[in-house]
Amino acid sequence: MVKVLRSEVLSRFQAGDCLPTLSELAEQYDVSTSSIRSALLTLAHEGLVTLRHGSGCYVTAPVSPVTACIGIFTDLDLFGPLAYPFQHRVIGLLRSTLRESGYEVRVYCGEEQWRQNPVEAPYPEFVADVQAGRLAGVVALPYSLLGQWLDVLRERELPVVHLDYTRRPGTVNLDYAALVRQGVAWLWEQGCRRLALTGYGGGTLGKMGTTDCARIFAEEFAARGGDYQAEWVRVDLNPALPGTGWSQFRELWTAHTAKPDGLLITDDALLPDVALAVRELGVRVPDELQVVTHFNRAVSAEVGWPAARLEFDPQTVAVALAELLRRRLRGEVDAGAQVTLGPQLIRAGQNTGVRV
């Protein structure tokens, strides 16, 4: 009940407004007046409302959207050597979108390096703002919500929205399973029948998990009657490590006398190294090998040959995160609500403002 009433106050009332009576609120939410009274006492302890004997319950702070503060949190070090452009772009667009809606926004970043093993950290500034009641809601990007402070969010019953890849409750999901399926379908349309895959799984740190990525690729390929070769699937190395794409492509290209005629790259971090290996081995793209690659719109690279792209748009991601959080604040959806975003196929030669 505390969570519901907090969201109601934050989204509908101004400083000095008098809330409906206990009996009116109890009837509205179909609960007892004692439940309403207990929830209002909690909000009064937070400083959100004031209870005046014989008069009613009043909003005590300017908690309209203009002053309600939203925290954007990521474990990743946005200023480190492995900072990922897509993360930067999503956070920047999300901040702008929320500010245009009238929210104050604070951005918190950790010190984790992209795709490295996470180390639990205290994040004192973030925890202090949560405990002081300065935040009305939180948007957490991948690798986030690890550690002891997650209990603090639960205790405060703050609305939290995640960007994720695993279809957990309360998330905007980037559908990498759809990316694999679309990639296989496009290569098949081009007449490719010997398909190879490079990507990243990495267990719980990966976008889908090594097994899932390889399994979906194998299932889609087998459903079309293709000649599946396990040696042409490389998803075991961390793309943040220098030379990963180079190593993966050389391994799959030299595994057999027969060569693959289609390649799906499921992580755009691999693309520059794959391109280097393609040039060193003298592989002719697209005459000898058709390529379709994951390539987020915020990332740019010059590889010297045409490839189809499977893009996630950071603007679409930011808008979806902001809208899901706004709906949580208004009490329109519960903590289990999800939004799934699929990739957009950009065929070779189409212009979207990036070069591949």
Q: Do 41 and 147 sit in the same domain of this protein?
A: no
Q: Do 190 and 133 sit in the same domain of this protein?
A: no
Strand partners, 162: 140, 171
Q: Between 177 and 2, whose confidence is greater?
A: 177
Q: What is the pLDDT of residues 249-300, one digit of tens each?
A: 999 999 989 999 999 999 888 999 999 999 999 999 999 999 999 988 867 6
Q: Do 33 and 76 sit in the same domain of this protein?
A: no
Question: Is omega for the bond preceding 286 within 30 degrees of 0, making it cis?
Answer: yes
Q: Do 332 and 308 sit in the same domain of this protein?
A: no
Average pLDDT of the residues in 157-168: 79
Place of tokens 């706004």: 326
Lowest mean pLDDT among 13-27, 88-102, 132-146: 132-146
Q: Do 180 and 282 sit in the same domain of this protein?
A: yes
Q: Do 229 and 285 sit in the same domain of this protein?
A: yes
Q: Do 82 and 191 sit in the same domain of this protein?
A: no
Amino acid at 179: L
- In this prediction, residue 232 carries a pLDDT of 94
The 3-state DSSP composition of the chain as helix, strand, coil percent (nearest 5) reads 40, 20, 45
Query: Residue 9 belongs to a domain with what CATH number?
Result: 1.10.10.10
Is 349 a member of any domain? no
The alpha carbon of residue 1 and the mean position of all alpha carbons in its chain are separated, in whole angstroms, by 29
Q: Do 308 and 188 sit in the same domain of this protein?
A: yes
Question: Are 153 and 160 within 8 A, CB to CB?
Answer: yes
Query: Residue 280 belongs to a domain with what CATH number?
Result: 3.40.50.2300
- In this prediction, residue 238 carries a pLDDT of 76
Q: Work out how many domains the chain is built from and give that number.
A: 3
Where are the alpha helices (H) located in the chain, listed in sequence order? 2-12, 22-29, 33-46, 85-100, 124-131, 150-156, 176-189, 210-223, 244-253, 271-281, 314-329
Q: What is the pLDDT of residues 197-229, one digit of tens each?
A: 998 764 433 444 445 788 899 999 889 988 788
Q: What is the 3-state secondary structure (H, E, C) of 44-81?
A: HHHCCEEEECCCEEEECCCCCCCCCEEEEEEEECCCCC
Q: Do 169 and 237 sit in the same domain of this protein?
A: no
- In this prediction, residue 308 carries a pLDDT of 94
Tokens of 191: 């007449």
Reported pTM:
0.74
- In this prediction, residue 303 carries a pLDDT of 82
Domain span at 155? 69-174+316-343
Q: Do 255 and 285 sit in the same domain of this protein?
A: yes
Amino acid at 163: L
CA distance 115 to 206: 8
Q: What angle do CA 29, 35, 38 make, to 5 degrees?
A: 130
Q: Do 299 and 216 sit in the same domain of this protein?
A: yes
Q: What is the pLDDT of residues 111-155, one digit of tens each?
A: 766 555 555 555 678 877 887 788 889 998 865 554 556 666 767
Q: Do 201 and 287 sit in the same domain of this protein?
A: yes
